[in-house]
Amino acid sequence: MKNTAQDLRIDGARLWDSLMEMARIGATPAGGCNRQALTDEDRAGRDLFTEWCREAGCEIRVDRMGNIFARRPGSDPDLPPVITGSHLDTQPTGGKYDGVFGVLAGLEVMRTLEQHGLQTRAPLEVVVWTNEEGARFSPAMIGSGVWCGEFSLDYGHGREDKNGRTIGAELERIGYLGDQPAEPFPITAAFEAHIEQGPILEKEDQVIGVVTGVQGIRWYDVTFHGTPCHAGPTPMADRRDPVQALSQLCERLYGEVKAYSDEARMTCGDLRAEPGSRNTVPEKVVLALDLRHPQPEGLEHLHQSLHRVAQELQEATGCGIEIRDEWHSPPVAFDPQCIDAVNTAVEGLGYSHRRMVSGAGHDSVYVSRVAPVSMIFVPCAGGLSHNEAESAEPDHLEKGCNVLLQAMLARAGVASD
């Protein structure tokens, strides 16, 4: 071999070109991507990825949830693989890097090893997880969730989008309803490279985030029930207006979240009023609510605060308030050995770095339930993500991929000549 494993580096220009080519699929006029899960655009992205993987010497298999596994054999087929990957689906107004960087960084690792004729002892696999975003089908991370056993296959296949189309039917329609079981298998280690989706690395002028875990997330659908009436004749004091109850709940809960902890998060991401007429007080309003905290006790505090405020406002406003739990992802601590592999790699490469907890949910949350896991973050401009203006520096992406390469080699081992 011309290169020792420690000397090996990925091709940053090739990685960047692949990112830009993938970004053309579902490209938006504002410079982002709309490649929602199991759309025709998602199918095109999947087809391109699998084509590239076969060219890099990988074998492809697809499971019953449409999760794609691209395998590069190791010298010892009995060893469990080292895996990496993320997702190709985007938000409706998403960017070029969220998810796709982790997938194509894994592909670039495979290409680099193939180019230099280096074989690992354990096999390597790049994974594309289905519907990580949760933008078209709720909840998020459903492909990895079914795979790890958090959800049943029937539950996964039965999730509907706003038009009543199910994941199962759409997987079949786009040709990615695979025949492999959607269930875990032995894994030596798992890594996921990702843009940070926050401002910390950029603010501190750090190149790499060594991710030690993921904060907890709870999703709710909060329904406010009122009495529909005419906008003109009905005095304000005589109304049971669910929008007033909604506004008071948001004001009070935002205040409590901010007062509780700098680490707490609250987001009101979607609102729907029915019947949806400009001059009619709504009969009901449905709020999609997202609460987050890195500690279990913090997430529980936010959960209890929501229920307490809702109960108090029911009595004060006369509106019924119904809270439905949509999804609960508890805080996660990653595997110490995988964290050390990332930390050793970044120190060996001489890149600036810091340890951090992820504020966003990732497929690694579910993978960590059945395998040793860690993540690698790189900065994104202004911490902006889930936005067409999402941006990352080619140099940072290249360095993040080099860290991924070295961490994977450390856990997979290198075959003897």
pLDDT in tens, the chain (417 residues): 345 888 999 999 999 999 999 999 999 999 999 999 999 999 999 999 999 999 999 999 999 999 999 999 999 999 999 999 999 999 999 999 999 999 999 999 999 999 999 999 999 999 999 999 999 999 999 999 999 999 999 999 999 999 999 999 999 999 999 999 999 999 999 999 999 999 999 999 999 999 999 999 999 999 999 999 999 999 999 999 999 999 999 999 999 999 999 999 999 989 999 999 999 999 999 999 999 999 999 999 999 999 999 999 999 999 999 999 998 988 999 999 999 999 999 999 999 999 999 988 799 999 999 999 999 999 999 999 999 999 999 999 999 999 999 999 999 999 975
pLDDT of residue 401: 98
CA distance 194 to 375: 7
What H or E segment, with its residue span, contains residue 217? strand 216-225
Per-residue pLDDT of 170-211, as tens digits, reads 999 999 999 999 999 999 999 999 999 999 999 999 999 999
Q: What are phi and psi of 46, to 5 degrees?
A: -65, -45
Per-residue pLDDT of 31-76, as tens digits, reads 999 999 999 999 999 999 999 999 999 999 999 999 999 999 999 9
Q: Which residues of 214-244 are buried (b: 16+ CB within 10 A; e: fewer)?
A: bbbbbbbbbbbbbbbbeeeebeeeebbbbbb
Task: Read off the DSSP letter of residue 183.
Answer: S
Q: Which residues pair with 229 in a beta bridge?
A: 281
- Tokens 């590069």 locate to 72
Show the tokens assigned to 400: 């993040």
On whether the CB atoms of residues 376 and 405 are closer than 8 A, the answer is no
80: left (phi over 0), alpha (psi -120 to 50) or beta: beta
CA angle 377, 190, 26 (to 5 degrees): 60
CA distance 272 to 201: 36
pLDDT of residue 1: 38
pLDDT of residue 359: 81
On whether the CB atoms of residues 329 and 145 are closer than 8 A, the answer is no
